């Protein structure tokens, strides 16, 4: 079984066609096609309503297993991805962003400025990643090995954790 993935780029300029989305496609390339299938991709502006609407639709209607967002996790006034994600969240998964920031700190002190979250809504895991292709790639690489197990558990797998 492949996990169904949505990649949501959050960018005013990308949505307006003023900047090419490079981070979203970069994330798609990192996902092993034997395990993950990107079934949805979109670019929305840095607007809470647009972000919430897309996340809810992909979680509740499309029932995606994983949503990766890229962009809007910094400190500018328009960076509201974490707040929009929190608005749709049922549970927090703090270890994922902790791991991403810890990995990023080994490369740049700016990693501590990322406010990205990981949450669940229903059986969907939502992970906020930075907007730069490099930051998005490195953050996903930090947590990618744990994602299949996380998605199996979220989907209701009764298999024991930690059993070899």
Pairwise CA distance, residues 18 & 154, whole Å: 37
Query: Exposed, middle or buried by CB within 10 Å (0-12, 13-18, 19+), for 151?
Result: buried
Average pLDDT over residues 112-124: 97
Residue 38 in this model has a pLDDT that exceeds 80: yes
- The structural domains of the chain, ordered by start, are 6-154 (3.40.980.10)
pTM of the model: 0.95
Higher pLDDT, 1 or 21: 21
Q: Is the pLDDT of residue 17 over 90?
A: yes
Q: Coil, strand, or helix at residue 152?
A: helix
CA distance 124 to 63: 7
Q: Do 7 and 41 touch, CB atoms closer than 8 A?
A: yes
Q: What is the mean pLDDT of residues 138-159?
A: 92
CA separation for the pair 149, 144 (Å, rounded): 10
| pLDDT tens readout for residues 48-94 | 999 999 999 999 999 999 999 999 999 999 999 999 999 999 999 99
Partners of 127 in the β-ladder = 68, 118
Tell me the CB-side half-sphere exposure of residue 125, using CA atoms within 13 A.
Answer: 26
Tell me, what's the pLDDT at 1?
75
Tokens of 116: 């990205």
């Amino acid at each position: 079984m492949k996990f169904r993935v949505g990649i949501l780029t959050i960018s005013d300029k990308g949505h307006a066609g003023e900047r090419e989305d490079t981070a979203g496609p970069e994330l798609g390339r990192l996902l092993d096609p034997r395990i993950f299938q990107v079934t949805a991709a979109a670019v929305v502006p840095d607007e809470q309503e647009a972000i919430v609407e897309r996340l809810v639709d992909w979680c509740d209607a499309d029932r995606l297993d994983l949503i990766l967002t890229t962009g809007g996790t910094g400190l500018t006034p328009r960076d509201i991805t974490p707040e929009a994600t929190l608005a749709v969240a049922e549970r927090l998964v703090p270890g994922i962003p902790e791991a991403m920031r810890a990995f990023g700190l080994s490369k740049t002190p700016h990693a501590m400025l990322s406010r990205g979250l990981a949450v669940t809504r229903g059986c969907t895991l939502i992970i906020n990643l930075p907007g730069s292709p490099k930051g998005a790639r490195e953050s996903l690489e930090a947590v990618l090995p744990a994602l299949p197990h996380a998605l199996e558990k979220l989907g209701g797998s009764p298999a024991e954790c930690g059993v070899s």
